[in-house]
Amino acid sequence: MADSQNQPHPPRPPLAFRVGIVGHRPGRLESADLPELERLVGDILGTVKEIVEEIGSNNRNIYADLPPVLRAVSPLAEGSDRVFARQAIRIGYEISCPMPFLKEEFEKDFSDSQAPGSVEQFNELLNRAEKGAGLVRFELEGSRSREAEAYRNSAQVVLNQSDLLLIIWDGHYHDKPGGTEETLLSARIQQIPIIWIDACAPHLWQLISPGESMPEKTVRKRHVPKPGCELKDLKEVVSDILAIPDSSGEKPEEDQFMRLQEFHLEKQPRRNFALLWKFFRNLTGANRISFLSPRIPPIESPPSEIPPGDSSSTVNRLAGWLKPYYDWPDRLAENYADRYRSGFILTYLLAAMAVGLALFPLVAGWLSAEHHTGLAICMILEAIVIMTILGLVFFTRKSRWHSRWLDYRMTAESVRQLKLFLALGGGKPFPRMAAHLMHYGNPSSTWMTWYVQSIERIAGLPNERVDNSHLRECLLQYDELLNEQIIYHRQSAAIYSKIEKRLHRTGELTLWLTLGACLTHLLPVVIPGIHLPPVFGNILTFLCGFLPALGASMAGINHQGEFRRIAKSSQAMCDQFLRLADEARNLRETISSELAAEGESTFIKVTNLSRTIANLMINEVSDWKVVYQDRPPVLPA
């Protein structure tokens, strides 16, 4: 493991690519030409390796300066898995081996096999992989009483870990749970690109893109790949998988590659002088005035690889490895949020000040010719304030503080979700926009999602036995994350609710004071004999103009900040996290007994819980982004 050092720019993940295998065991490879099948699999894996290495060579500006990592994902079962694994090891792929059972139990699948020496072949492949590019063993603690479920879980891990899935299939649909056909259907639902090799000679093969229909059945009542695929066709598929999404529009700010480059060129923020927002928040939302230091602590760079096993748990090591990938966009998002929020607060307050400066000569009695100097000073100051407002809004837009804040916050929160999945075999917890909000853009087709997927690829599978102890560690981390979110959202709901109410009440107060000033001004008209001193009358006129402007500024800050919506959303999120925290604690307490009970295994329950937590957090940040996307910096007109 490389030592973590401070670095001047956000980390670029190393390039990684994963090819998974799903296929028949020997009983359904009777019609196969095994030497030809093995040669074809080797040609495909070799071509993929060449393409990935070429992509890495041509894109050194978006990936870490490290050799590409190629992984072959296979449980190393008999038949197709071992044909695939032998070629992958020979070509130089790392082997990621998700087993449906703990290794000792999984070997029983082969000890009962009709093929002599199958267990020895299994262990030989493990040894060869370990001595070669590398080996990861991810052993699920499946139960023989729920054997189909165990195989299904293992197959799902293969899908989670596959950027491209190779399927060796004879074209016949069987209803075997957890088998090749079921996994094929799952892969299509999850929109994983597929290379389908016919398990029957002459081993035609076909690329099946997400959404593409399967070939019709032949007269022999089976599906057969369409002829004509060539190895060069793989280049487009692999390139599309690794490509940064296209721009979502014609505007430069919508160019995803440019936005990724902008992120990579960000520098470590050392000082934050945009402290007006935090001062305003603390004063109005927390009733305190505190000293705010502009200093920002440095961010560490991530190690080049996940550290090997030590005294800490796999869960903690994964979280530590992810931390710099989270800290960078998180710190940048906070910095740009402070600039954006401080900017619009200052803009609205300056707008009220401009009105006050325009009216001040009336109070000071500078409207006569002999006081032209004072009048001129006020007009000059008013012009300066207005130019400051125009310049601040223009600079904020040009510097893209608003959109950078939104993008970096989305990136940080998406990286945070990986903590829920990596220790359980991965997954793709990436944001999905509701259909009625697609006008705001698809967050899964952005540079942010590309960046998070790249991190997820290089993380891969951990070396782990997924037993009771490991699942408890996962649940403990969920507890920590949920409690952290509960505290954050509880505080957020209280602070933003108080800010919204106080801004609203201040606006109401300015209106009542204005009404009072107007009525006072009318007293000499309504009640004969009452005379107001000219200076007092001028002050009332000033208040009648300035107070509404101040109230409008409070309303503008309230509207721009969406404080009421944030408060309500945070309260709802707090309630949901409290419910999920109870579920996590209950699941941890009953984990041992549940493994022996009927129904779903604890692994599935923990996985489902992690998915629920991630979906809740991702949907919340997607909705949050939509809300603030409609709040770009504007003139306080």
d(CA 73, CA 80): 12
What angle, rounded to 10 degrees, do the helices at 256-264 and 447-459 form? 60
Question: What per-residue confidence (pLDDT) applies to 2?
Answer: 40
d(CA 379, CA 371): 13
**Strand partners of residue 19:** 72, 164
Q: What's the pTM value of the predicted model, to 2 decimals?
A: 0.90
Contact 430, 453 (CB under 8 A): yes
Is the Cβ–Cβ distance between 18 and 97 less than 8 Å?
A: no
Residue 516 neighbours by CB under 8 Å, 6+ apart: none
Q: Which pLDDT does position 312 carry in this prediction?
A: 64
pLDDT digits (tens, 9 = 90+) for 506-534: 999 999 999 999 999 888 877 877 777 88
Mean pLDDT of successive 10-residue stretches along the chain, which has 637 residues? 60 96 93 96 98 95 94 96 98 97 94 80 96 96 90 95 96 82 92 95 93 78 88 94 75 78 91 92 88 81 58 82 93 94 96 95 82 89 96 93 94 92 81 57 82 95 92 92 96 96 96 94 80 84 94 95 94 96 91 56 90 90 83 81
Q: What is the structure's pLDDT at 595? A: 47
Q: Parallel, antiparallel, or unpaired for β 194-198 and 205-208?
A: antiparallel
User: Looking at residue 634, what is its pLDDT?
Assistant: 83
Rounded to whole angstroms, how far apart are CA atoms 511 and 551? 7
Closest among 11, 13, 569, 526 to 266, alpha carbons compared: 11
Mean pLDDT, the chain, rounded, equals 89
The SS3 assignment for 477 reads helix
Phi-psi group of 529: left, alpha or beta (phi > 0 → left; psi -120 to 50 → alpha; rest → beta): left
β-pair partners for 6: 300
- Rounded to whole angstroms, what are the CA distances from 394 to 101, 339, 387, 397, 406? 61, 13, 10, 5, 18
pLDDT score for 8: 84
Task: With H, G, I as helix, E, B as strand and everything else as coil, classify residue 164.
Answer: strand
Domains delineated in the chain: 16-242 (3.40.50.450), 314-629 (no CATH)
Q: pLDDT digits over 119-169, tens only?
A: 999 999 999 999 999 999 999 999 898 899 999 999 999 999 999 999 999
d(Cα 570, Cα 282) in Å, to the nearest integer?
Answer: 18
What is the reported pLDDT for 598? 47
Q: What 3-state class would DSSP assign to 6?
A: strand
